[in-house]
Amino acid sequence: MEYSQMIDNLRNGKESGLIAVYNLYKRSLLYFSSQFVDRETSEEIVSDIFVKVWRLRKDFETEQKLKAFLYISTKNACFNHLRKPQTRWNMEDISSWNDILFEDAEVYTKIVQAELLEQIHREVAKLSPKQREVFNMTYLEDMTVEEIGKKLRISPTAVYVHRTRMIAFLRNSIKIKDALYILFFVLAF
């Protein structure tokens, strides 16, 4: 479903619009919120955000408005949770969280990371099974070419070939404006 169709369906009260928005943003919002709160709280916050999206669905005229609402609401919900009296933190934790939470650049970086990881995850799912294995072993398991070759019972040259094709596919499949995201991801891991 195209993005404009998804927004129209959402605004017109069609559940298919909400489901499409949910499927598109759930994982990146969970990653984003988990930078601030624990996993269980993160899941609750993200669920609540989608309830709000449904309630306010007529307000989302563009992709930018929807995306801004999702990330700003998630960030605010995380901050509100951390401010609750029953959330116990020692003073060192609070000081370090304040440094992180209230710097817009840091929050923006976390949003970009969440979106990038979601986009890469969608594209990695399109790779061949062998390329997907090489990707996971390289970037998630931090294995060397030799270790990957031994585990998959292929030569190091074959690992390089799979890696090269995988990276070329990812570069071509992710929009050119997002090429910097790939570079950031590769350098970060």
Q: Supply the CATH classification number for the domain 1-103.
A: 1.10.1740.10
Furthest-apart CA atoms within the chain: distance in Å:
57
Q: Please name which of 48, 50, 46 lies closest in space to residue 21, comparing C-alpha atoms.
A: 50
Domain residue spans of the chain: 1-103, 126-189
How much is the average pLDDT of 88-99? 48
Predicted local confidence at residue 81, as pLDDT: 87
126-189 has which CATH code?
A: 1.10.10
Scan for tokens 């070329």, then name that residue.
168
pLDDT digits (tens, 9 = 90+) for 112-144: 677 777 777 778 888 889 888 998 888 888 889
Q: In the prediction, which pLDDT does 65 show?
A: 85
The predicted pLDDT at position 177 comes to 45
pLDDT digits (tens, 9 = 90+) for 13-40: 999 999 999 998 998 899 889 888 899 9
DSSP state of 170: H
pLDDT band at 91 (very low <50, low <70, confident <90, very high): very low
Model pLDDT, residue 40: 93
Average confidence (pLDDT) over 164-184: 68
Please answer whether residues 74 and 32 qualify as being in contact, where contact means their C-beta atoms are separated by less than 8 angstroms: yes
Mean pLDDT of all residues in 44-50: 95
Q: Please, what is the angle between helix 104-124 and helix 156-173, to 10°?
A: 110
- Could you tell me the pLDDT band of residue 94, with boundaries at 50, 70 and 90? very low
**pLDDT at 145 (0 to 100):** 92
What does pTM read for this prediction? Answer: 0.56
DSSP letters along 59-85, please?
G--SHHHHHHHHHHHHHHHHHHHHHST
The average confidence (pLDDT) of the chain is 80
pLDDT band, very low/low/confident/very high, at 181 (cuts 50, 70, 90): low
Residue 100 or residue 169, greater confidence: 169
- Compute the residue count for the chain: 189
What percent of the chain lies above the pLDDT cut of 70?
Answer: 76
pLDDT value for 175 = 60
